[in-house]
Structure 1
């Protein structure tokens, strides 16, 4: 079953509605992250695309990621609860909830504004060139997983 199209305004608006339902007191249904940490964690996918704040993997690691991780991230198969997390995505310490909420919302809107064609064949930080569908699945599935984790 195809995942909702994150490049459409209707899907983006629904995701932002879910993000807006979170509060600083929201608790996860599973896992250990606080709401602010989860929002910061979700921003990492977008930081890879827009901010150049993370060191890209070397050639060998990129090969390994493409061979063993890419399909878990870019297909429609949902993430399992408490799955392993890449080091860049591990958020330690306190974060400002409102700041992270605004950052994530801005990234989601920017992605929708740029549109699917911007991502067609675009090189990802870890997996090489991805199709529009792979970008969509990666973005949508990750957000949906963590918003569900927090009951929204």
Structure 2
């Protein structure tokens, strides 16, 4: 399944900053690579081998970002109906055990568990979309049913 093209304005700005930073880092790596190449035998030159690998990784990420950024659809406005859960919503849910958790539904390029950001493509986010406060959501994870109750929604 292809990932959703949606992204928040903050997420888009972060990806653009990452692309700029990768280009800057690439310039530094190319300089270091040239210096390492000038040292002679490349087959036993650890610095040269390391820099070549680092350059490949940087180039791979730059190619990905250059291909992905134009395809993204920035969602920078809250929906008209803020009583329902849509993309970019902060959602507070309660588990059956009584634990409260807050998640923000974001694009797949913005996932960050430490911030509570979950992908719109995740099973929980897909079930939450369109729900409102008081609704119950049931998902199956690793063969077990998990029940969540929507407590709050904010944008």
Is TM-score (shorter-chain normalized) higher than 0.5? Answer: no
- Of Structure 1 and Structure 2, which has the larger fraction of its residues in helix? 1
Structure showing greater Rg? 2
Q: TM-score, normalised by structure 1?
A: 0.25
The structure carrying a bigger strand percent of its residues is 2
| TM-score normalised to structure 2 length | 0.25
